[in-house]
Amino acid sequence: MITIVMGSFQSLPDDHQYRTLSQKTGFSLEQIAILHNRFKQLSQNEETLRRDDLKTIQDLESNPIRSQIIEAFFDSRNFQKDVVGSVEEIGFEEFLTVMSYFRAPPQHITEEQREEIRRAKLRFLFNMHDTDNDGTITLEEYRHVVEELLSRSGALGRETAKGIADAAMLEVASISVGPMAPDEFYEGITFEHFLKVCQFVRLYAEAT
Amino acid sequence: MSVRKRRIYIDYCGMFILVLGLLVGSLMPLGGAASSPDTGTGHGGSHGNKNPGNGTTYSKKPFPVLSFDYEHVRLPFEISLWVLLASLMKLGFHLIPRVSSIVPESCLLIVVGLLVGGLIKMVGEDPPVLESKIFFFYLLPPIILDAGYFMPIRQFTENLGTILMFAVVGTLWNSFFVGGLLYGVCQLEGHKLAYVDLLSCLLFGSIISAVDPVAVLAVFEEIHINELLHILVFGESLLNDAVTVVLYHLFEEYSSVGSITFMDVFLGIVCFLVVSLGGIVVGAIYGILAAFTSRFTSHTRVIEPLFVFVYSYMAYLSAEVFHLSGIMALIACGAVMRPYVEANISHKSHTTIKYFLKMWSSVSDTLIFIFLGVSTVAGPHQWNWTFVVATVIFCLVARVLGVVGLTFVINKFRIVKLTSKDQFIIAYGGLRGAIAFSLVYLLNPKHFPMRNMFLTAIITVIFFTVFVQGMTIRPLVDLLAVKKKQETKRSINEEIHTQFLDHLLTGIEDICGHYGHHHWKDKLNRFNKKYVKKCLIAGERSKEPQLIAFYHKMEMKQAIELVESGGGAKLPSALPSTVSMQNIQPKKPSQDRALPQLSKAREEEIRKILRTNLQRTRQRLRSYNRHTLIADPYEDGWNEMLLKRKKMKELEKKMNNYLTVPAPPPDSPTITRARLASDPQAWGLKSVTESIPTIKVDLASPQSPESVNVVDEFSKKGSQPKEEEGGLTMKVPSPAKQRKDKTPDEEPQQRLMRCLSDPGPAPEEIQPLRSCSGCALHI
């Protein structure tokens, strides 16, 4: 969970704008102010953020899935419905929208709303894996995921990655589809299968 | 009841009565003073001297062919009898299924203890009491070590704040509430209880308010409650030891003086920090020592478990030397050493450690409860209605209030809030047990004239919590529909996604510029990987990323399951046997495949035959040792690789001779082997190397693009030793390709050769190429 530390209350220049953002994403005004500061810091006071700006963050260097995280920020699916493709630069609104996926769900909401939030978060995760945007995570994409995870381990990781990805895929297939005849072909993990398999991830989704 | 079952019951009862009789009999004096089995060492002497031993008069006796000298084995004999009794009780409960599902084992054991105690008393003896020294040095450590070693670290650290709150603040609240109110009651009561002063009451409060890990474990294990609640209550019971130790010593010291100043309170707080942190540090040091030692045990695998046990015990004892919290030391030791030790030790040692710990903790646990029962019968009692009833009530009330109040505060900081159902279970699960009893027993009667009353009250509370709460918690859990433990096996998907999420959240935190929980966890992990693992894990396993280690472990487990379940004929249900590689591999158009495809059934048959027979062959070649499998490829030096290939070729030749056995039936493995043996091409790996690329082109189209990859490894060998290392390590995980086959390193060259010499088999057969390469170079 990303608990945004409450900084000191600063004057909010774009109060009205913040309010609309707050309504849209669910962050509080102070949180938005803090994130806006961070945004300005990263984008060197420009209006839009580019990939290179994110790449300059020191701490991200050692993160194995760094490129995927950065991509997620520029992936249109995450901030606009029914649009695919990636953009070169994003504004603060898009930045905030992506960040809102990691916000804790508010206290007093109905079960359906909670469920919806969970789905949205898992969809975000799914989109991160499904790079070619066909709605399924194919074996290749899954392999890529595992390879990235093990990318810091050199050659050792790359070879095992395939084995691991294959095993994982088999597991998903057997859980989602059950027994398959040898001629059938399992296209890839759809979002529904993803939900089913990643049941434990629901807990995380709750936590994030 | 069937005849067989009746037989079992009768046999069991007979044996039990025999042991019981022996036990009671052993306690009877052989002519003199009574003694308790646990304390007596020096009661030789007065018992039936056979030889008067007067120096002056000799009377020649016939040489004693058979003599009865019980005394000199008395102590070990009695201990063994008690252990035997405890174990037989455990057996007995499981023969009576109905009872054990209603009544938790701990209750039954206490009842048995009561019976045995009563029996002993009837005979006229003094039943033995649960000596504190024996309890704290011999009975408690195995249970705590078992808990600490197998503690789920992830859940524990995630809920650490909550656990600490309950353990520290909760216990403090309980002690003062109970102590204070009891003092009030004593004062109000008047004549009989007026002598109980405040400090004694507070001392009593502090002893009784600690939730007992033994009791909690015993009850919670049977109800299979969800992991969060389990770790909360259990973690609390472990961590409150530090608080109990400090409060106990504080009040004990100063009750003789009669008053406590602010300075003492302040020192008490400092003492608490010292006790808990000191205990953890001591434990961590021993844990690291154990991990370091395990690095060198590759040649003496047999004593590996010993190191784990002895180092942990030493940690406990060392902490006790300084009056630090021994329990926390033990937990820290187990938790710290586990990841490193498990990476270093062999699979058999791992199993040994697991089973020894479970066995010891089980026996300890049983003995503790039986002794509680016996001590109840034995112990000096002083019953005082007011005091006892007040104690019970106040304990309950304090617990409920404490939990509710603390949860209210804690929920403000938690993401996954604790519901009222959770709160109820936490409050209800606060069982008291033998630790409290032993602590009271340790009190000096001179300083504490009301010790007996305390003892009675404590026993009553323990009985109440264990019997009433222990028995009713299971139906209540069902009634309240509390979430039970998920029986899901940890899957590879879960592992992948957990790691992915960890990295993702860390990344997001970095982007936010916010140094949160994930950031520090990530830093710790990287530190661990970079420095600590290098020191403490032997060989190349130190570089193995967690995901791969997990994957290997899972494969091992599945391979073992497979072998256990009958050598591959019947696949274990855990495997996704219904889906195999061909279902998920993208199918390439098969027009460029020039070779006929073997029918699936035939192929499976061939595989099965090869698997079952060649597995054995392989084992004859070399004993299956996980570490040599992995350790070997990590030798640096390209030349050594060549040397190995040479050695392997020689071995092949040996096998060649070995395998030319005449008169094989068709299709048996021997004939396939013989065919291969006679094949001139078969053993020339070098030639194969060259020929593979050509075959590969034809067969590249089949389902596994990996075959291409593998061959690449072969061809690239000359240029990139590093690459090859990667190729070699593929050895163990190869079964991923053959989920159905599940034989880690069984794919022999034979198959490879066969494939090459006889282009009949399906392209899938080429898949083992990868493993073959690995295995070939491995030898």
CA distance B524 to chain A (A): 13
Q: Which of residues 116-175 of A touch B (CB under 8 A)?
A: 125, 128, 138-140, 145-146, 149-150, 152-160, 162-164, 166-175
Question: Across residues B749-767, what is the average pLDDT?
Answer: 41
Flag whether pLDDT at B500 surpasses 50: yes
Average pLDDT of span B709-721 = 38
Instruction: Work out the number of other CB atoms within 10 angstroms of the CB of residue B601.
Output: 8
Q: Which residues contact A129 (CB under 8 A, 6 or more apart)?
A: A137, A141, A142, A145
Q: How far apart are the first and last CA of chain B?
A: 58
Q: Which of A41-45, B290-294, B495-499 has the highest mean pLDDT?
A: B290-294
pLDDT of B41 > 60? The answer is no
Cβ contact A186–B584 (<8 Å): yes
Q: Which residues of B touch A42 (CB under 8 A)?
A: 511
Which of B152, B501, B103, B310 lies closest to A203, judged by CA? B501
One-letter amino acid identity for B570?
Answer: K
Mean pLDDT to the nearest integer, B135-161: 88
What percent of chain A is predicted at pLDDT more than 70? 71
Q: The tokens of B713 are what?
A: 């490894």
* Residue listed under structure tokens 């154990």: B290
B510·A207 Cβ contact <8 A: no
Spell out the domains of chain B, with CATH numbers in brackets.
Answer: 1-101 (no CATH), 132-480 (1.20.1530.20)
Residues 24-63 (A) with a CB less than 8 A from some CB of B: 35, 38, 41-42, 54, 57, 59-60, 62-63
CB-closest option in A57, A150, A204 to B510: A57
> Which residues have CB under 8 Å from A68's CB, separation 6+?
A128, A145, A148
Is B545 within 8 Å of A198 when comparing Cβ atoms? no
User: How do residues B549-580 score in pLDDT, each as one tens digit?
Assistant: 777 777 777 777 777 776 544 444 444 445 56
Q: What is the pLDDT of residue A201?
A: 54
Of B493, B505, B508, which has the smallest distance from its Cβ to A172's Cβ?
Answer: B493
Q: Is pLDDT above 50 for B742? A: no
The CA distance from B190 to the nearest CA of chain A, in Å, is 52
Mutate to test the interface with B, among A30, A52, A59 (most CBs of B within 10 A): A59
Asked if B727 and A145 come within 8 Å (Cβ–Cβ), the reply is no
Query: Mean pLDDT in chain B?
Result: 72
Contacts of B597 in chain A (CB under 8 A): none
- Whether the per-residue pLDDT at B458 is higher than 70: the answer is yes
Partner-chain contact B506 A63, CB within 8 Å: yes
Whether residue B576 and residue A162 make contact (CB cut-off 8 A), yes or no, is no
CB contact under 8 A, A66 and B507: yes
Query: Can you give the pLDDT at residue B655?
Result: 58
Interface mutation target, options A118, A164, A184, A195, chain B, most CBs of B under 10 Å: A164
pLDDT at B285: 94
Would the CB atoms of A164 and B726 count as touching at under 8 Å?
no
Of residues B628 and B387, the one with the higher pLDDT is B387
3-state secondary structure B291-312: HHHHCCHHHCHHHHHHHHHHHH
Contact: B511, A54; criterion CB under 8 Å: yes
For the cut 90, the answer to whether the pLDDT of residue B311 exceeds it is yes
pLDDT above 60: residue B770: no
Chain B residues within an 8 Å CB radius of A154:
726
Tell me, what's the ipTM? 0.85
Spatial separation of the C-alpha atoms in residues A144 and A156, rounded to whole Å = 15
Task: Quote the minimal CA–CA distance from B776 to chain A in Å.
Answer: 17
Least confident of A130-144, B459-473, B646-660: B646-660
Q: From CA B305, how far away is CA B353, in angstroms rounded?
A: 5
Tell me the backbone φ, ψ of residue B679, rounded to 5 degrees. Answer: -75, 120
Q: Which residue of A has its CA nearest to B499?
A: A149
pLDDT number for residue B540: 66
What pLDDT does B698 receive?
A: 36
Lowest-confidence segment of A95-99, B384-388, B698-702 by average pLDDT: B698-702
B731 to chain A: closest CA residue:
A160
* Structure confidence by residue, pLDDT tens digits, B503-540: 888 787 777 777 777 777 778 888 887 777 777 777 66
DSSP E strand stretches across B495-561: none
Asked if the Cβ–Cβ distance from A160 to B512 is below 8 Å, we say: no
Amino acid of residue B41: T
Which of A138, A180, A201 faces B578 most closely, judged by CB atoms? A180
Q: Is residue B356 within 8 Å of residue B305, measured between CB atoms? A: yes
What pLDDT, on a 0 to 100 scale, did the predictor assign at position B503? 80
Chain A residues whose beta carbon lies within 8 Å of the beta carbon of residue B633 = none
> Chain A contacts of B509, Cβ < 8 Å?
2
Rounded to a whole number of angstroms, the distance from the CA of A189 to the nearest CA of chain B is 10
Structural element, H or E, at residue A196: helix A191-197
**Set of chain B residues whose Cβ sits within 8 Å of the Cβ of A66:** 507
